[in-house]
Structure 1
């Protein structure tokens, strides 16, 4: 039990913002206080609800709330009716099922290619970087118009090679992270190491890195450490897992229709692909550890 907690918020007379992922188990307590505070400030029965006496509570990463917390929040929303409005910002609306009946769902579409290119060109101008329009379009396409990934890719490529060449190789900014995972797999094969690698994979998931890119890059990095026979073996394993992915999604197409209300197909496919990558890593580490002919295998990264 603690007497008080410190909460970082952004606010104005008309709104208050808080990131729920920073509250470490005190989500319900903070939301209660925000709603009470808002209710006290906006309660004026003589005035109709308007800009002058309405306050918005904006909750980021709301899809990380537990079902228990959501049910409690539902009770709060029903109790504290008035001029205040609560906005639940999330990536997966299916996880807010408990309060969905009280909410209006507004889907924010991703930025267009034109908007992404405009942002990259603006950054390049501010930094004094000559960014060709065609290259900016490639950054946008490779990132699937994700601002964060496009900017990270632009920065990584610029640091690696500038001035840009005509057929510039585009980096994502995650190459070093994936190379580090490959090195960890070669250096140690243990449950502890697998747990550490899983955490690094989860970090890539959080930042929206494509599972296909992770898998391809990981295999390429691992092959740098292996002799010809094991390179063929890991390539065979990679092909096998890719075939299994295709068969799994084809046989599962009817389940997609049944689950469409809970999870969109793209997210579901990505989750299964990451699980496949984890399985591949575990299998490789087991095979590598059990390999008896390791005299020609370096245990350190290539220079």
Structure 2
């Protein structure tokens, strides 16, 4: 089952949902679109041109891109293909047959205007200074700014200029913390890595994830483990802090790797803690019998 959005003039799909079948689905879309437009027997125009929009195209493998390029060159017709991505360098095999259009992120002023428009339509009193703070905290990510506005307004009936800004991801991170405490295993770590990847895909700041995760872990363990959490957090959150300072993407990857290492280290410590606690309880029972 593939989720597709379509109209008479476009078909839209998110490649991250295809899980290994990206190449096959894209090729079928190209062939199908080509057949539909060729049946009309008309010259290409705005009326019979169909757009194929592919989101998260930078997740495609080099092998898939080379094959897709061959299919595009073979099945030329009244259709346009849009490869939407965050890192155009990963679409190198398509460089000579595609035109690169770079969309700059919105400015803080533009984000504030969108938030104020939403607030007006939802009858929410949004202080201008709070809107500006939300825009700054979103780091030019409009989707995150809207999510933060929604989460903050739902948590507060009356919005104030200096109140705490929520991101809307607090519950997701709290669930990760619960998963860490519930079970310590390679499979659990793999599932948590998948959840972290979702946060990465939605541009959630790693500093926020790290700090919130440490706080949520303390809520799920006994107080005797709090010092261990602080120690491990300090060790990994400050590790190579200035590494890849001039390369934002590499810096981001390194930060999330540090979070994964923090989780793996804490899982190991907590597993040992539970084992020791179980031994102590056994010894106490033996002494009392």
TM-score range (shorter-chain normalised) is 0.7 to 0.9
Partner of 2:255: 273
Partner of 1:218: 213
Partner of 2:101: 106
Cα pair distance change 1:19/1:243, threshold 3 Å = same
CA RMSD of aligned residues (A): 2.7
Q: Could you tell me how far apart the structure 2 residues matched to 1:95 and 1:42 are?
A: 36
Which has the higher mean CA deviation after the structures are superposed, 115-124 or 92-101? 92-101
Partner of 1:261: none
Show structure 1 runs of 5+ residues with no match.
257-264, 296-303
Q: Could you tell me how far apart the structure 2 residues matched to 1:186 and 1:54 are?
A: 54
- Partner of residue 200 from structure 2, selected from 195, 201, 205: 205
Say which SS state the counterpart of residue 99 (structure 2) adopts.
coil
Partner of 1:298: none
Deviation of 1:29 after TM superposition, in Å, equals 1.9
Cα pair distance change 1:32/1:72, threshold 3 Å = farther
Q: Decide whether the 8 Å contact of 1:153 with 1:172 is kept in 2.
A: yes
Q: Decide whether the 8 Å contact of 2:173 with 2:209 is kept in 1.
A: yes
Deviation of 1:155 after TM superposition, in Å, equals 1.2
Superimposed CA distance per residue, residues 106-128 of structure 1 (whole angstroms, 9 cap, x where no aligned partner) = 11111111111111111111111
Partner of 2:264: 282
Q: Could you tell me how far apart the structure 2 residues matched to 1:162 and 1:201 are?
A: 31
Partner of 2:166: 171
Deviation of 1:196 after TM superposition, in Å, equals 2.4
Q: Decide whether the 8 Å contact of 1:111 with 1:145 is kept in 2.
A: yes
Which has the higher mean CA deviation after the structures are superposed, 55-64 or 121-130? 55-64
Q: Which has the higher contact order (CA 8 A, sep 6+)?
A: 1
Cα pair distance change 1:180/1:39, threshold 3 Å = same
Deviation of 1:11 after TM superposition, in Å, equals 2.9
Which has the higher mean CA deviation after the structures are superposed, 54-63 or 121-130? 54-63
Q: Could you tell me how far apart the structure 2 residues matched to 1:56 and 1:166 are?
A: 44
Q: Could you tell me how far apart the structure 2 residues matched to 1:217 and 1:18 are?
A: 35
Q: Decide whether the 8 Å contact of 1:42 with 1:55 is kept in 2.
A: no
Q: Could you tell me how far apart the structure 2 residues matched to 1:8 and 1:228 are?
A: 49
Show structure 2 runs of 5+ residues with no match.
281-289
Partner of 2:283: none
Q: Do residues 19 (structure 1) and 18 (structure 2) align?
A: no
Which has the higher mean CA deviation after the structures are superposed, 71-80 or 49-58? 49-58
Partner of 2:90: 95
Q: Could you tell me how far apart the structure 1 residues matched to 2:265 and 2:49 are?
A: 57
Q: Decide whether the 8 Å contact of 2:127 with 2:160 is kept in 1.
A: no
Cα pair distance change 1:165/1:56, threshold 3 Å = closer
Aligned residues: 272
Which has the higher mean CA deviation after the structures are superposed, 203-212 or 21-30? 21-30
Q: Could you tell me how far apart the structure 2 residues matched to 1:159 and 1:188 are?
A: 32
Cα pair distance change 1:38/1:92, threshold 3 Å = farther
